[in-house]
Homo-oligomer: A and B are copies of this chain.
């Protein structure tokens, strides 16, 4: 809770639209329209000012229909919009097409060039894309030590990543061994890795590892990971601006989404969905503020 409080920007009447964060999400596909929505709406509810979503032309109108709050561009390529964004999340619901992978790779490189804090989510993607994203992010990261790049694999994706990078599996291993492997992978790729799981793990590029195990929910409906990626992207921006370490953003995001999930489960029970978790975002920020 303290981590979240440290990151919240001070509000005042002299602020202008956009000052608390002009966010971008590159994602969505013909199949997955919910994922970029969950990420982008979570960004607004946690306190960012604007959420731009960049999606394929056949997915964009559907994503628009979920909420008038989002600015949805019918194009996966942000182009000149990128320079007007403060922070970018790449990946939610991006799908598996070759073209989407190319766009993701290009956008990551471009975002790095203009110093845009970046979270890369690879939920549900095949190994090849996870690795391509990782490699692109790593390459970009090596150009500068100061840009926060965070990958957000789940346990299965982390296992694939570790196998590819280190030839070491992580699934089913004791926590201490996973920590060690995650630390090495983060160091080798020169980026931060937030591993989503029963216990969240943040392995920083400098090799340090932190664990977050606030109580959450035993339910696992789709979309909660997208909510986390969205909140994390906002917290990463705020941490970047206030010179807090990125691990504070990770701690804050893990606590925040777990607490929202716990509240949703307590209120709704087994039938809770990602929408119920998102309904808790604004009340929880208000409570912490």
How many protomers of this protein does the assembly include?
Answer: 2
Contact A271–B275 (Cβ < 8 Å): no
Which residues of chain A from 1 to 49 have any CB-CB distance to chain B below 8 Å in the complex?
8, 11-20, 30-34, 37-38, 44-47, 49
Count of chain A residues with Cβ under 8 Å from any Cβ of B? 64
Residue A70 lies at the interface, judged by CB distance under 8 Å to chain B: yes
Nearest B residue (CB) for A47? B270
Residue A69 lies at the interface, judged by CB distance under 8 Å to chain B: yes
State the CA gap A37–B64 with chains docked (Å). 12
CB distance from A231 to the nearest CB of B (A): 11
Binds B, one of A111-119, A144-152, A213-221, A246-254: A213-221
Contact A16–B71 (Cβ < 8 Å): no
State the CA gap A221–B51 with chains docked (Å). 9
Residue A126 lies at the interface, judged by CB distance under 8 Å to chain B: no
Nearest B residue (CB) for A48? B221
Residue A274 lies at the interface, judged by CB distance under 8 Å to chain B: yes
Further 7 A-B residue pairs, CB within 8 A, beyond A49-B220, A49-B221: A11-B270, A20-B220, A44-B271, A50-B222, A65-B65, A271-B282, A271-B283
